[in-house]
A and B are shown apart, each in its own frame.
Chain A
Amino acid sequence: QKEVEQDPGPLSVPEGAIVSLNCTYSNSAFQYFMWYRQYSRKGPELLMYTYSSGNKEDGRFTAQVDKSSKYISLFIRDSQPSDSATYLCAMEYGNKLVFGAGTILRVKS
């Protein structure tokens, strides 16, 4: 079993839709939780960064962490074609990040 599981998609939605991206994990030692966005032929860029259980909002993006269920989510409101990318969840403990496999998102105009 992988430490971090993420549905690879692809996920295809119409412009304006609410998108939900999810990851589950098995290691309760993970302390920090991140979402990265990766456009084609580019490196991952940090979108959201959270520590505790609960919600964190930044513009159209909301990151949710449920440590009791070992489940994290990223919600994108009013999705735009420019949101089309691969979204990677990542979790940290000690000196290392463990990444999900990434979900490919396509927002159709």
Chain B
Amino acid sequence: DVKVTQSSRYLVKRTGEKVFLECVQDMDHENMFWYRQDPGLGLRLIYFSYDVKMKEKGDIPEGYSVSREKKERFSLILESASTNQTSMYLCASSPIKIGNQPQHFGDGTRLSIL
């Protein structure tokens, strides 16, 4: 079974802090994704990566950056946290053939910015 592990289930930070969310997958997948999930809005793609050191902006990249130094690890960085970044953050991975290989998700990090 694919295992996508997010380092924290719950996180509370203050506005202006730099926040790191970590994600690790154990299936040697090329693609990794970061989403945020908000009520009524569903999942929205922040960034994705299809290879080590590669990254692509998703639909809502503003205020975020990412890092992928190793294939199995994909980090989401909030450069200067703001209250509107309070959300559930979900990491996902999939093999290289996006078109016929669905994404597998971690259990999420619920982030609160005070």
Chain A interface (Cβ within 8 Å of chain B)?
Answer: 4, 6, 8, 31-32, 34, 36, 41-46, 49, 51, 88, 90, 92, 94-97, 99-102
Between A and B, how many residue pairs show CB distances below 8 Å? 55
Task: Report B22 CB to chain A, min CB distance, Å.
Answer: 15
Q: Once the chains bind, are B58 and A88 in contact (CB under 8 Å)?
A: no
Chain B interface (Cβ within 8 Å of chain A)?
Answer: 4, 9, 31, 40-45, 48, 50, 56, 58, 90, 92, 98-100, 102-108
Q: Once the chains bind, are A51 and B100 in contact (CB under 8 Å)?
A: yes
Q: Once the chains bind, are A32 and B100 in contact (CB under 8 Å)?
A: yes
Q: Once the chains bind, are A96 and B99 in contact (CB under 8 Å)?
A: no
Q: Once the chains bind, are A97 and B45 in contact (CB under 8 Å)?
A: yes
Q: Known contacts A92-B98, A99-B43, A101-B42: does B105 contact A44 (CB below 8 Å)?
A: yes
Q: Once the chains bind, are A45 and B100 in contact (CB under 8 Å)?
A: no
How far apart are the CA atoms of A32 and B50 in the complex, in Å?
Answer: 19
